[in-house]
Amino acid sequence: MSRRGSGMGCDQPWREPMMSDKAEKKATVLLVDDNQLQLDALALRLEQHYEEEALDIRVEIESDERNVLATLREKTIDVVVSDLDMPFFRGDELNQMVQKFDDKIQFIIHSGVGGQKARNQLIDENVRDIIEKAKPGSDTFKDLVEAIRKALKFREERLAVSMINSAARRQRNIVHEDPKMEKVFSIVDKVAGAPSPVLVQGEPGTGKELIAHEIHRKRNEMLRLKNPNFNEKDYPYLAINCGALSRTLLESQLFGHKKGAFTGSVADQDGVFVAAKKGTLFLDEITELDLDLQVKLLRVLQEKEVTPLGSTRPIPVRARVVTATNAPIKQLVEERKFRDDLYYRINVVNIEIPPLRERKLDVEALANHFLLEMADAYNCPPRCLSPGALELLKKYRWPGNVRELHNVIERSFALGDEYNIIPRDLPDEIQGIGPGHDDAGDGQRDADLEAGLSRFHEAAREVGDSIAAKHSLGDRQSSFPTYDEVVAEHIRRALLHTQGVKSRAASLLSIDRNRLYRLMSKYRIPADGVSAD
């Protein structure tokens, strides 16, 4: 029926803003109640209801309210349905903790709440709804189902509003949510219309070229508004990495050359200063220029003209220059490895991009953006980050910054689960395991598996004998049990052995409780395990 992961738990632009009453949606509801029997019965009933309605809504359970936050970190939960009176936390106290963890999670109290005053108080504390438990002679199950449906719809609406706000911020073509980046874009807005040189600084992978391109885009946008005859071809964006080319080739690329200026120059070629026309020229890794080229670059910036190699005739240049470096340029100036006069010329406006580890909000926004890109690239349904995976991403220091985050998301998308990216899908260094983690437990796990298989074969023989006894002994073919009969009978025997306690039955069968519920629903096994016939 339902599979792990929901897609409802992340703020993503691929989601429809509303949920229709009958449309199939992936969602997860967490039931919390210290009464194990009531919890099991309600979970099974909800599972069966959603299966009949063809709704892909998964039901999770938790009988110890202290474990709820751990569940929220590991799984994407959309709605919590909780009892009110529990041993360690009251339902309203649990609601406060859940809202602090993620205020988009909807919270429903399912309990015998006494009096309208108590109900009003719970509503004031942001409880989404209060549904009384069934009393003798009554059934409030339909009320609970309707409350969950409304809660999911309300959550969808909140996510839609959040998406609209995020889309407004993405108008810049650079995904960001953190206030520190707003300061960066404030400078971009102010400097875009001016011809002043800009120096962009930041660690590798922070997005220095994206900022340069944003300055260019913003400038062209302003020029387009001022001039109805604006021609994009006259204002191109060109970029060159000063650390990626040999000295001779770099000089030729920057300033151009005439035919025969050096070995291999068989034709005239314009440099990027001329090719950029009235647009933007981005010079990355500017500190990689040797001192001779620094002198020539300084002259171009001062005189607004360039002389190609092999020529004596200067050519006027009008391009706007943006430079970038991840090196400590001030220190290089002090060490006389970078000319101070060139530094002052290119550093008229300075933009410092903070590293990703200082922009926690951007980690989530960028990760979700990359997930959407991956869905497009792989031509498959989009996926979400579980709260636990997101928490690990935010704690990681990201030495490679945005570039490393993109790499991690692509890897996790390619190798992870069908719906959610969960903690175990992330690289070891992000999980905190590290390359030297202990694998000594593998041998024990293998031994446990062998022992488990042995127990299974023994139990299967007993179950087969039990089923065979119900068939006609005269027909050898009909006395052989089918696979489904074996599984169903095995589950019934486990439930009878544990007197209907699902958690103990699941443990006995070495499966989790949610798996047990799905099998019970599939084989129509009643809560106590007693067969209808």
Question: pTM (2 decimals)?
Answer: 0.55
Pick 527 or 415 by higher pLDDT: 415
In a domain, 190, yes or no: yes
The total domain count for the chain is: 4
CATH number at residue 313: 3.40.50.300
Q: Does 6 fall in a domain?
A: no
- The residues, ordered by sequence, that sit 6+ positions from 352 with a Cβ below 8 Å of its Cβ are 184, 201, 202
Does residue 37 sit in the same domain as residue 140? Answer: yes
Structure tokens at 3: 């599979």
Domain of 289, in residue numbers: 179-353
Q: Which tokens sit at 219?
A: 């400038």
- For tokens 């074996």, what's the residue? 486
Domain check: are 483 and 376 in the same one? no
User: pLDDT tens digit string along 423-437?
Assistant: 888 998 998 764 433
Identify whether 530 is part of a domain: no
Place of tokens 């969808």: 156
Domain end (from 142, 170, 198) = 170
Are 261 and 377 contained in the same domain? no
- Confidence (pLDDT) at 479: 54
Which of residues 318, 353, 388 is at a domain's end? 353
Average pLDDT, the chain: 80
* Residue 285 three-state SS: coil
How far is CA 106 from its chain centroid?
A: 20
* Together in a domain, 371 and 464: no
Report the alpha-carbon distance of residue 254 to residue 399 in Å, rounded.
Answer: 31
Left, alpha or beta for 32 (phi > 0: left; psi -120 to 50: alpha)? beta
Q: Residues 185, 324: one domain?
A: yes
Using alpha carbons only, give the angle 73, 131, 60 rounded to the nearest 5 degrees: 30
Is 166 in the same domain as 39? yes
Alpha helices in 308-440 (DSSP H): 329-334, 340-346, 360-378, 387-395, 401-415, 428-431
Find where tokens 């009251």 sit.
90
Report, as an integer, the average pLDDT of 347-357.
96
Distances (CA, A) of 154 to 27, 55, 107: 13, 17, 11
DSSP bridge partners of 130: 109
- Gap between the Cα atoms of 398 and 406, Å rounded: 11
- Whether 2 is covered by a domain: the verdict is no
Does 280 fall in a domain? Answer: yes
> pLDDT of 154-190, one tens digit each?
888 777 655 554 554 445 567 888 899 989 999 998 9
| Number of Cβ atoms within 10 Å of the Cβ of 389 | 25
Q: What is the CATH number of the domain that holds 414?
A: 1.10.8.60
Q: Which two tokens stand for residue 243?
A: 């650390």
3-state secondary structure of 407: helix
Which of these three, 324, 353, 382, is where a domain ends? 353
166 and 193 fall within a common domain? no
Give 168 or 83, the one with higher predicted confidence: 83
Would the CA dihedral through 181, 185, 186, 191 be positive or negative? positive
Pair (319, 406) in one structural domain: no
The answer to whether residues 247 and 344 belong to one domain is yes
C-beta pairs of 131-137 under 8 Å, 24+ apart in sequence:
133/38
Quick one: pLDDT at residue 402?
95
pLDDT band at 399 (very low <50, low <70, confident <90, very high): very high
Residue with token string 């890897």: 411
Per-residue pLDDT at 239 exceeds 90: yes
Which pLDDT score, from 0 to 100, does residue 478 have? 52
Instruction: Check pLDDT > 80 for residue 117.
Output: no
Residues 222 and 331 in one domain: yes
pLDDT at 52 over 70: yes
Establish if 115 belongs to a structural domain.
yes
What integer pLDDT is reported at residue 22 of this predicted model?
39
Instruction: Clarify whether residues 485 and 346 are in a common domain.
Output: no
326-330, 396-400, 458-462 — which is least confidently predicted?
458-462
* Same-domain status, 409 and 318: no
